[in-house]
Chain A
């Protein structure tokens, strides 16, 4: 592993992120509308069979959603780098492709996790109550694992697709089912069992469940199941991303 390359890719993402203030605000808009519209607006009409308020229930789901969307979107960086030729510059340096991928995950992960902190902070301002327990800190671990899984997916798609429209089309093909066929908006138990099976194949389900246990203290699975599921999905997705990035065309 070439730590220099990991460090540079991370540092680059930090610098670019802090310079693109409009992007930070833009990426916060969607979770904010979901919090207001679904959490507060629709939430008042919903009574959960599992107990607790719908607003509290949905905040981890919206954190998971914003992680999913922004993480996959991170893959477009590969397309931009290809467009601007910077990809070639990276690929001719004596560093393993795996380190470049890890560095990108580290950089993208840091930015999307920071965004999640802001989403949680805003939710707390409008009434979200975090379970006052040290377990709440585990939420950070789940955020990192959700980010790792879906940034890897984004990097895989970015490595395989070179036109921007195609990338957008294919990512929405992934994000929509991943989001709606998860437990982000509703408890899995409210679905018929044959749909539940699909939810249980979705890594986001375990990620959001882990967030709920950490932040609220209640969830569907034991927390170690969520943790192992997310570790496995992260490992698989990183491997796929490295494989795809190895074969990417420099343009």
Chain B
């Protein structure tokens, strides 16, 4: 069952189309990712789905409620972990959680139990009564994630949950997010511009670029669309022609490219094809010096759809343009 149903949602700021006719569905219990560079329209989409920003056109339903007409019903059923900090730093961690619980109408007994549970989950029990302004960045983030869970939302939005955190804390938070989804079944929607984050966490990923969804599928399906894996064999340069002829005619070879003493063969399920490649070569008396298998990353997929890497999209436009041209040439 779709817990989120987005139908041609758009948002314009003056002449700028921040979100341009986005449609997608998210199933209950899913971890769904919106992946794209900064400024692609991810946060604007989240703001509309969480009733913080009215849409220009299109519509969406969250937990069965209309984002335009049933805002209060939606607010009761969702939690958000914002991209930017959203804590009251002049309050303690516990007070931030308490106030949140009261704002969601949770009675005292359940409130106390829930706060204790959440503090334990995000490992802030011993810092609970310290003012938030003395917390480190990672601690603040963990407190915010904990706060988003207090009222047991059906859908939890996480807008760039690990931006600006050190790798270790990031890993830690990924594990929380995964465990949370597995144990409570909460539907999670996260935006990110970190490829690894989407790959590690999301059941399905939508690529967002210039306000549009350019591709949407499971990470592995997205990667397979590129033509599967790349088996790269190192050979003696003088054998290159023979190798090319040998593999070119084969049905399971999707694409072949040779350069210097390497031959790259695009195949599906590369690990199964390696033995065949080896056998075929020795049958024809050709020598393979080394073999490597390269799985395409989501980054490769993003380049495929947009002609740019995510990082380049965020760079300045001239460099971006030059690199985009280079990337297009290289493909």
Task: Report the minimum CB–CB distance from B139 to chain A (whole Å).
Answer: 16
Interface 9-residue window, one of B87-95, B179-187, B213-221 = B87-95
Given A4-B105, A85-B82, A88-B82, also A19-B90 (CB < 8 A): yes
Interface string of A192-209 (1 = CB under 8 A from B): 000000000000000000
Interface string of A75-102 (1 = CB under 8 A from B): 0000000001110111111111000000
CA distance A5 to B51 in the complex (A): 18
In this assembly, does B134 line the interface, its C-beta being within 8 Å of a C-beta of chain A? no
Query: When the two chains form their complex, are residues A94 and B75 in contact, meaning their CB atoms are under 8 A apart?
Result: yes
Number of B residues near A (Cβ < 8 Å) is: 28
| Interface size, A (range) | 20 to 34
Query: When the two chains form their complex, are residues B102 and A8 in contact, meaning their CB atoms are under 8 A apart?
Result: yes
Query: When the two chains form their complex, are residues B87 and A94 in contact, meaning their CB atoms are under 8 A apart?
Result: no
Task: Report the minimum CB–CB distance from B11 to chain A (whole Å).
Answer: 14
In this assembly, does A250 line the interface, its C-beta being within 8 Å of a C-beta of chain B? yes
Interface centre among A5, A8, A93 (most CB of B within 10 A): A93
Query: When the two chains form their complex, are residues B52 and A88 in contact, meaning their CB atoms are under 8 A apart?
Result: yes
Within 8 A of A (CB), among B97-121: 99-100, 102-105
Chain B residue, CB-CB nearest to A81: B88
Chain A residue, CB-CB nearest to B79: A92
Interface string of A1-14 (1 = CB under 8 A from B): 00011011001100
Query: When the two chains form their complex, are residues A93 and B86 in contact, meaning their CB atoms are under 8 A apart?
Result: no
Task: Report the minimum CB–CB distance from B264 to chain A (whole Å).
Answer: 47
Query: When the two chains form their complex, are residues A8 and B103 in contact, meaning their CB atoms are under 8 A apart?
Result: yes
Chain A residues whose CB sits within 8 angstroms of the CB of B105 once the complex forms: 4, 94
In this assembly, does A15 line the interface, its C-beta being within 8 Å of a C-beta of chain B? yes
Query: When the two chains form their complex, are residues A84 and B86 in contact, meaning their CB atoms are under 8 A apart?
Result: yes
Chain A residues whose CB sits within 8 angstroms of the CB of B88 once the complex forms: 12, 16, 84, 86
Query: When the two chains form their complex, are residues A92 and B51 in contact, meaning their CB atoms are under 8 A apart?
Result: yes
In this assembly, does B78 line the interface, its C-beta being within 8 Å of a C-beta of chain A? yes
**Chain A residues engaging chain B, CB cutoff 8 angstroms:** 4-5, 7-8, 11-12, 15-16, 19-20, 84-86, 88-96, 250
Closest 5 A-B residue pairs measured CB to CB?
A85-B86, A94-B75, A93-B103, A94-B76, A89-B86
Q: Given known contacts A84-B86, A85-B86, what 19 new A-B pairs fall within 8 Å (CB)?
A: A4-B102, A4-B105, A8-B99, A8-B102, A12-B88, A12-B91, A15-B91, A16-B90, A84-B89, A86-B88, A88-B52, A88-B80, A89-B82, A91-B52, A92-B50, A92-B75, A93-B75, A94-B72, A94-B75
